[in-house]
Structure formats: structure tokens, C-alpha cells
Structure 1
């Protein structure tokens, strides 16, 4: 493995671990220390401040109006709806279930890519979709809350998390072109700014009255800092680094790390219980995502055709030469 690919694998592996640990950490802050809206708006505002500050030290890029509209739509899908639905969903469900449902995102991206980007759906991909969806269904139908936990609605929470994945899948497809034209800092500074402005009426009051700012201990402040710096700023920087160095299908495979990290942490601190349905559902989803992410994409098929065409042309040329020689021999026989 060369140095460039190794950097890509390292970036996405670290991001997956950060995301996985974020499930139980965010769950710990809700709802006593911060409401879902307060946490969501915190991520938007902090992301906007962090990325705009970072943009002062990197090369400036001008974004035309057409691409700015795409960034606005991307901010609504990949930052706004995605993060809001995730945090609201996590309020009701367990960190383990939320992390397992989150692994279905590559499958959703594949289906959306078929309709928007005309990516082919092979039998292998279709089988992966059904396996993954069946695994998510197992999680949703078996959802529960451990004894002593706060009252919640785990089925609703799992559905919110699934919708969060759907929003992010649309985001990956819609912003595919602009992500290739601009740096991660340029893209993220505009997306987080748009999300901060649009969500201001809904989140600023909850943020100003959060219990964390009144009586939060060091443990809660560290958790809050992890959510902002780690699961928001660092991860949104690491993802583009990986995307430029390794294939998207390989990146999708690292989603497997998230439920493993989240489950270990959540079960160890009593936020969740181990049940037999969880590993079965996880295996189904993992198998589905594996089939989808290892299937051939449109680019793979087109690249293979380009590689095979010269060989076919060469074979056709040889065949033509043989036919010409054969015809000449038969002609000579007739003359003689």
C-alpha cells in the first residue's frame, strides 16, 4: 500500500472511530444538559465559526451563484436535516441501535445514485439492498430501552436516524460535482453558515438556556467539546481527505467500525443492553453494505470497457487479416 492510500485509510478510520464514540457521548448530554435543538444549533454555529476561521489561512476560492445554490441545498441535506434528525433520533433510541441503522447509508446512496447519476444496479447490489433493509427492520422492530432508562420512543428514534442517513445519502449524490471543484474548507464554511442562519429561529433560545452552561461539570463540558471539535469539525475535515485518496466503496466499508465502537461504549456505561438480535441485525446490514460497496460502479464498468476495447480491436484486426489471406488463397486455387 502506497503512502497516499495509507493516508486515506488512516483518515477515514479515525473519522469512523470519532463518529462511533459520538453516539453514546451525545446521548449522555440529552435531554438534561442540552435539548436536541441546542446540541444541533451548537454544531452548526461552531462549525461555521471554525471553518470560516480556518478559511482565513488557506487559499480563497470564488464560488459562482450556480454552485452556491448547490451548497445551500447540500447544507440543508448533509448538515441541517442530517444532524438534526440524528440528534432527535438519538434522544429516543439507544446509541447501539442508532449506530447500526447508520450503516445503511451506503445502500441508500446506491439507490439514489441509480436514479440521479444513472449508476447501474446489479444483482449483487440488489441483494445487498434487501439484506441491509431487512437488518434495519430487525433493529427497529426489536428496539427497546434498558430498565431504568428515561422514557422514550425507540422505534421513532430509529426512524429518525434512518431519515438522517437518507438526507446524507442525497447530500453525497447532489454535491458530488462541487466537492471535486472546491476545497473541503470552502465547501464546509458555506454549508455550516447556511445551516446556522436557517436554524437560528429554532435553536438559539434552547442553546442560551441550556443547563450545561449553568451547572455542567467537567465531564459534561468535555463531552460537549468532543461533540463540537471531534464529531463536527475534525470529522468534516477528515472525510474529504479520505475521498481524494481511496475509493468511495472502500470508505463505506469503514462504517462497520461505528456500531462496534458505539456498542462497546454504550453497553459499558449502561446506556444499552446486549441482546441477540443486535449482532444478527448488524451482520445482515454489514453483509448488505459489503455486497453493495464491492459491486462494480458505472465508472468501473466504463473503465473496463476502455481497457478491453484495444484488445478487442486487436483481435478484430487479426481476424480481418486472416480472412483476407484465406480469401486470397481460395482465389488463387480457383485461378489455378
Structure 2
């Protein structure tokens, strides 16, 4: 089996884990672990794992001038991004999160135009507009009466905050990735993530009644820490050794399909015409925003 085939399998594996995560993480909250307490569990577990694996990487020291960017990236990628997503998942539904997560590429296009002056073509602008309309439809009209989704509009809005902070993180971390090994960056970013999240999340973390956690909930927590946080990053790093970043990012389009199928199969969510329409608008918008224009003859 060629390395390229293995890289494609790794990318599909990472996307599959992300797709399952929408439903699995939802099953834990808020009955057993509240969202902010879950984040403290996630960043602490990931920090331990990345420190452990960092001994197999190069011995690097982050330069003093780069610590500011490392801190901002940690705030965006290990705090705001995660806090908004998990709180949104508590308030909304797995299908909504699976659909709205795909607007990240659109956010990247907009932020790239604002911060690094990347040109936005008519095609990209159309994609951004369609994706925004789809997200707005889901936020404003996707509400439905559900005990486990107490505030769907707010939850959907938080998914957009999650996508925006993650998009900004991707832009800012790019220079660091070019300079430092991923293991070096991840161990320090997740360590900072613990300190940043601690004041917000410790109260909910301290409320966890460990002895009352069923085995399936413990499995779900481990899945989020080891699978969603640790292995997905390793899979994506390996995939990048054989695939272009643009090719790897295209796999995010599988998330709504996988997330919706898993949510429906486990009976954790249901489809509606509003969700279908919003999903089609978002996905087509992402396609237009991410598609490379044809070269001029």
C-alpha cells in the first residue's frame, strides 16, 4: 500500500472521528459532565499525551518573540474555539453542529482577506454569501422543541463563534508551524490551554461525580480526549506529508454527511426541511469559496 493511500485513509479517519464526535460528545453533556468541565478534561488529557509523545520529536526551544503568537493561538484554538463548540453542542443538536462546522473554510477566506490581504474573487464572495445565508437560516429557523437542546439559536450562534475562532487560529498558527515541530507547538499550546480554561472551567470540572459515571460515558470522554483531540491531529499531520493542505481541507465536507448519518442511526437527532436547505446552502457556499478558479487561457 502506497504512502499516499495511507495518507488518504488517515485523512478519512480523522474526518470520521470528527463526524462521530458531534453525537458522542453530546451524549455526555450536561447530565454527566458540563461543557466547560469537559473542555478542562480535554485540554488536560491532550497536554499529557502531547508531552508524552514530544520526547520522540526534536528538542526545540520556542523563541521569546514567538510566545505572544503562541499565546494568542492557544486562546483561539484551545479556549474560545473549544468552549464555544461544546457549549453550543449542549444547547443545540449534533446535526446543526455537523453542518455549521463546515463554514470554517469560509471564515478563513474572509479573515485572509482582512489580515493578509488575500484577494476575494466573485466566486469566493458568492460562496461566502451563500454559506452565511445557510448558517443564518439554521440559526434563526432551525429551532425545534427538544429537552436536550434548550436554546438552539444560541447554540448555533456559538458554532459560528467556534468556526470563526478556529479560522483565525489556522491563519495565525501557520507561521509557527513553518518554524517549529508540531509536537513542540501542541505540548505548549495545550499546556497554556489548561491555564487559560482553568478559571472558567474549574467550577464545572469540580462538579463531576466520578464514581457515578457509567462505562459508556467514560468511553465517550476517552474518545473525545484520545480520538477527537489526539489521534485526529496525528492523522492530519501524517496526511499532510503526502497531500496538499488544500486537498486535506476538502475532507471537512464529509463531516456533515458522517455526522448526520451517525446522529440519525443512533436516534440522537432528526432531519427537517430547514436543516436540509441550510446544509445544502452551507455546503455549496463552502464549495464555491474553496474551489480554485480556472487559470486564464
Alignment check: 8 A CA contact 1:94 1:145 kept: no
CA deviation vs aligned residue, 1:294-333 (integer Å, no higher than 9, x gap): 125xxx98xx9xxx9xxxxxxxxxxxxxxxxxxxxxxxxx
Alignment check: 8 A CA contact 2:84 2:159 kept: yes
Alignment check: 8 A CA contact 1:185 1:237 kept: no
Are positions 1:64 and 2:96 aligned together?
no
- 1:96 maps to 95
**SS of the counterpart of 1:62?**
coil
Gaps of 5+ in 2: none
Residue 84 and residue 281 in structure 1: after superposition, are their counterparts in 2 closer, same or farther (change >3 A)? same
Are positions 1:180 and 2:178 aligned together?
yes
TM-score (norm 2): 0.93
Alignment check: 8 A CA contact 1:124 1:295 kept: no
CA displacement at 1:4 relative to structure 2 = 4.7
Residue 63 and residue 82 in structure 1: after superposition, are their counterparts in 2 closer, same or farther (change >3 A)? same
- 1:232 maps to 229
CA displacement at 1:267 relative to structure 2 = 2.1
Larger gyration radius, structure 1 or structure 2: 1
- The 1-side partners of 2:149 and 2:232 are apart by 31
RMSD: 2.0
CA displacement at 1:155 relative to structure 2 = 0.3
- The 1-side partners of 2:272 and 2:88 are apart by 20
CA deviation vs aligned residue, 1:92-145 (integer Å, no higher than 9, x gap): 000000110110000000111112222211111111111111111121122224
TM-score (norm 1): 0.83
Are positions 1:22 and 2:21 aligned together?
yes
Alignment check: 8 A CA contact 2:142 2:275 kept: no
- The 2-side partners of 1:247 and 1:292 are apart by 17
Residue 288 and residue 236 in structure 1: after superposition, are their counterparts in 2 closer, same or farther (change >3 A)? same
- 1:200 maps to 198
Alignment check: 8 A CA contact 2:108 2:167 kept: yes
**SS of the counterpart of 2:69?**
helix
**SS of the counterpart of 1:21?**
helix
Alignment check: 8 A CA contact 1:18 1:231 kept: yes
- 1:48 maps to 47
Alignment check: 8 A CA contact 1:93 1:155 kept: yes
RCO greater where, 1 or 2, for CA within 8 Å and sep 6 or more? 2
**SS of the counterpart of 2:226?**
helix
- The 2-side partners of 1:252 and 1:49 are apart by 27
Gaps of 5+ in 1: 309-336
Query: How many equivalent pairs are there?
Result: 297
- 1:113 maps to 112
Alignment check: 8 A CA contact 2:134 2:278 kept: yes
- 1:274 maps to 271
- 1:326 maps to none
